[in-house]
Structure 1
Amino acid sequence: MAEIKLSVERLQTGVFVKLPVKWGEHPFMFTSFKIKSQDQIEVIRNLGLKHVIVVPEKSTAPPLPVIEDGAKTAPTDKDVSQKAEKALWEEKRARIEELKNYRRNLQKVEKEFDRSMSQVRAVMSKLKSRPLNAVEDATTLINNLADDLLSGENVVLHLMNDSKDADSFYYHSLNVSILAMMLAKAAGFSERDIKVLGIAGLFHDVGKMKIPDKILRKSGKLTAQEANLLKMHTKYGADFLKLSETIPPQVKLIAQQHHEYLDGSGYPQKLKGDEIDRLSQLIAVVNEYDSLCHPRDPRLSRIPFTVIAYLYKQRKQQLNTADLGILIRLLGIYPPGSVVQLSSGQIGLVMSVNSERLLFPTVQVYDPNIPRTEAPIIDLEAAGLTIEKALKPSALPEAIFEYLNPRARISYYFDHNKRL
């Protein structure tokens, strides 16, 4: 992308500039931006800069013509420029404080997520030796999560830290559980059904504990025999859960039916339409989403944006369209974990999505002028920016990839107390 050195006297609104100073030495939120007002030009001049870098491809207006020798430029109104600069500094400091608050809140949510993950691991480890205790612990975990979820009006969905490959089963179980409860709440399900779905999300794949690891972790294509054995996890799960008298009957049914599809193409019974339990239909939607984002073979993984588009366009005959539509409204077009290009031309990682403002997620932005540990996380609505498109992490330049650190496994957790 071509860049040119330009005299500050030739700046006008619509020109995209890069300031040749460090981030802490100017009042703007970014060192690179498109000029929106004459006040911003006056502030740039007041910084004592003679020249800036301009990116014509990102500009919506050309620079002003070259000023002929002897021609006079309009004098700068120092009072106006100083007031504008002071206002920008105040706004920048306020944004920095908001960012600190966001990071503190995110750290709190991550601790809650880690605590829940530890409980999920403990539940799964107890299933074989102490199943009654495992069910009690799972019920307590889900009741607490559901109560938090139901006590808030809007929900903010956050991107969590990456997982280890060995923990993928636990992360998938918690992901399905959380997304299923969120979807059920948005769909107006009863509190009882929401909690049933939460427990079912944790236990829907419990039958995989009887499947050999060499099949579960095989990266290549499964043989017909291996594929048939893997499909047995629905039967194994239902049979295992039937041993417990305290698990709700629908949880056992969901373990058996979560791979049944409305067109009869699923398994194990090839059920159609209303033959499939209503809660099982909802779990099927969430399970498909998370499984496509994190398939058994990592080489087949898709970015959240393309998974959403794929499910909506290609799987309508198989999945409950009402649930699918609500899932899209919850996650947004660009779910947390999506790598995106903004209208400013910047590259960022979607960190959080507010259910009330899906078009304006919170995005961590790549800025080589700012240390990675202090990377700017911006509210697109407040910044006046939009998302232009989603990008494949594998296509990012190495410096941007290392800076943004896209997650190999995308895990979600909710927070209903903060408005981002």
Structure 2
Amino acid sequence: MATVKLSIEQLTQGLYIKLPLQWTDHPFLCNHFLIKDPQQIRLIKNLGIKFVYLIPEKSETTPLAPDTQDDAISDQESQFLAKQAEMLWQEKQARISRLKNYKLKYQRCEQNFTRSMAQLRSIMTKLKNRPLNAIKEAEMLVEEMVDALLDADSVALHLMSDNKKHEDIYCHSLNVTIMSMMVARACGLDAAEIKTIAIGSLFHDMGKLKIPSAILRKTTPLTEPEENYFKLHTKYSLDFANLSSTFPEEAKPILAQHHELIDGSGYPNQLTAEEISPYAQLVAVVDAYDRLCHPQDPKKAKIPYSALSYLFKYQKEQYNNDYLGQLIRLLGVYPPGSVVQLSNQQLGLVMSVNSDNLLHPNVLLYDPSVPSNEAPIIDLEESDIRIEQAIAPHKLPEHVATYLNPRVRISFYFDPDD
């Protein structure tokens, strides 16, 4: 939106302004806000600045005349304003401290994600020659993740930095595993059931290792023979599982049935709802969501918000609605990875959602006055700012896209919020 340079003498209630300062140089929550009371005006004037930027479209009134004189303030009011400023600064410092803690937790989460990806690559490499070792390592990985998931009262789902090429199977498998575990937890399943779902989802697409990369990476529609070859990956996944005598039997239907749809239109056997394993039905929902975000043709990729909307609007007859509803509640209306416009007209990137506060995700703000590596991440629950809409990353100006760095591949990992 267009801005107008405005002298601070012209400030009044109802103006929507942007401060010409870095986020850490003033006590307000954001650089953009609607002036609500005279105290805010006094606090702005005490910042030592001579002007602000007015955003007329968001303002509820017009500025004062240029030569408007300030009313004198009493000593009592001056003391009150000083106390108000001190309170705001203390709150701001607490927010900055929480932001630092959040970034530390995020770094820990990213380290766990990187380690899990490395373990998954190792596991997949061993499948053909040492299947027993591969399954044992997978069970250890799953055990660790499930224990961490169940030990926490609250779990945050974070957006991960993941720009690795040609690791689609690994990224997709880990994504589906993480989200399937969290959906299973939300459904009240016990540890043993969550571990079964995790093992099944971790290996659900390993059969694609036998599909030619020319088919897997083809961006134009597959021919009928190619599509038939591609659909064999469910059989190949099961074949891999059967190489090991220790692969859990109850997880095998996930490998075989995750493309079956409850209306009978899926593959390979056109099973209907009562014939499909509940575990496979759960993983199928998560798998569908991640495939909408990461189709074979990147140009057809949906942003997370649109992927959830598409599933609910057009495919809810094909998937278990209880699991679909849990996935939507898990990811929130605006899942991690969504580029959003906020009610204060700032742009941001949803970094994480807390399973207990779905409507108030943590959002990394675009603010050109702050270096991108120091960009504030605000918890919307602690502010009066709301998300107005999701925005497709390709519609962002180049400088905004560079700053926010929306991910080409949306990858997730969880961190216990304890």
Paired position in structure 2 for 1:62:
61
Q: How does 1:197-208 map to 2 (within 5 A)?
A: 197-208=197-208
User: In structure 2, what residue type is equivalent to 1:41?
Assistant: I
Q: CA deviation at 1:64?
A: 4.6
Amino acid at match of 2:377: I
1:165-203 CA-to-partner distances (Å, cap 9, x unmatched) read: 211211111111111111111111232211010001111
**Contact 2:3–2:53 under 8 Å retained in 1:** yes
Partner of 1:104: 104
State the partner residue of 1:333.
333
User: Where do 1:177-216 residues align within 5 Å?
Assistant: 177-216=177-216
One-letter identity of the residue aligned with 2:160: M
Q: Which runs of 5+ in 1 are unaligned?
A: none
The equivalent of 1:370 in structure 2 is: 370
Q: Which residue of 2 aligns with 1:7?
A: 7
Residues 56 and 134 of structure 1: is their aligned pair in 2 closer, same or farther, counting only changes over 3 Å? same
Distance 1:148 1:17, change over 3 A: same
SS of 1:326 mapped into structure 2: helix
In the TM superposition, residue 341 of structure 1 has moved relative to its aligned partner by: 0.6
Q: Determine if contact 2:128/2:240 at 8 Å carries over to the other structure.
A: no
Contact 2:169 2:206 in 1 (8 A): no
1:19 aligns with 2:16: no
Output aligned runs, 1:112-151, within 5 Å. 112-151=112-151
Please name the residue that 1:321 is paired with: 321
Which range is displaced more, 299-308 or 238-247? 238-247
Alpha-carbon spacing, 1:82–1:255, altered in 2? closer, same or farther (3 Å): same
**Separation (CA, whole Å) in 2 of partners of 1:258 and 1:22:** 49
Report the 3-state secondary structure (helix = DSSP H, G, I; strand = E; otherwise coil) of the residue aligned with 1:360.
strand
Q: Note the residue ranges of structure 2 that are not aligned, 5 or more in a row.
A: none
- Tell me what 1:74 maps to: 71
Describe the shift of the 1:417–1:30 C-alpha distance in structure 2 as closer, same or farther (beyond 3 A). closer
Amino acid at match of 1:247: F
Aligned partners of 1:31, 1:232: CA distance in 2, in Å?
A: 54
State the 1:93 CA deviation: 1.6
Structure 2 SS opposite 1:359? strand
Distance 1:24 1:142 in 2: 41
Which residue of 2 is the match for residue 267 of structure 1? 267
Matches within 5 A, 1:340-355: 340-355=340-355
Shift of 1:54: 0.6
User: Residues 174 and 24 (structure 1 numbering): CA distance in 2 closer, same or farther, change over 3 Å?
Assistant: closer
Deviations 1:246-266 (A, max 9, x none): 111122221111100011100
Distance 1:300 1:65 in 2: 50
- Structure 2 match to 1:294: 294
Deviations 1:383-410 (A, max 9, x none): 2211111000000011100000001111
* Overall identity of the aligned pairs, in %: 51
CA RMSD of aligned residues (A): 1.6
**Contact preservation (8 Å) 1:205, 1:255:** yes
Query: Do the aligned residues in 2 keep the contact of 1:282 with 1:323 (CA within 8 Å)?
Result: yes
* Alignment TM-score, normalising by the size of structure 2: 0.96
Q: Return closer, same or farther for 1:190/1:403 CA change in 2, 3 Å cut-off.
A: same
Residues 339 and 347, structure 2, Cα contact 8 Å, conserved in 1: yes
SS in 1 for 2:246: coil
CA distance in 2, matches of 1:348, 1:177: 27
- SS of the residue corresponding to residue 373 of structure 2 reads helix
Normalising by structure 1, what TM-score? Answer: 0.95
Deviations 1:221-259 (A, max 9, x none): 211111110001111111221222111112222111110
CA offsets 1:203-225 (integer angstroms, 9 cap, x no match): 10111111011111112221111
- What code does the residue aligned with 1:187 have? C
Q: What residue in structure 2 maps to residue 154 of structure 1?
A: 154
Equivalents in 1 of 2:115, 2:139: separation in Å?
A: 15
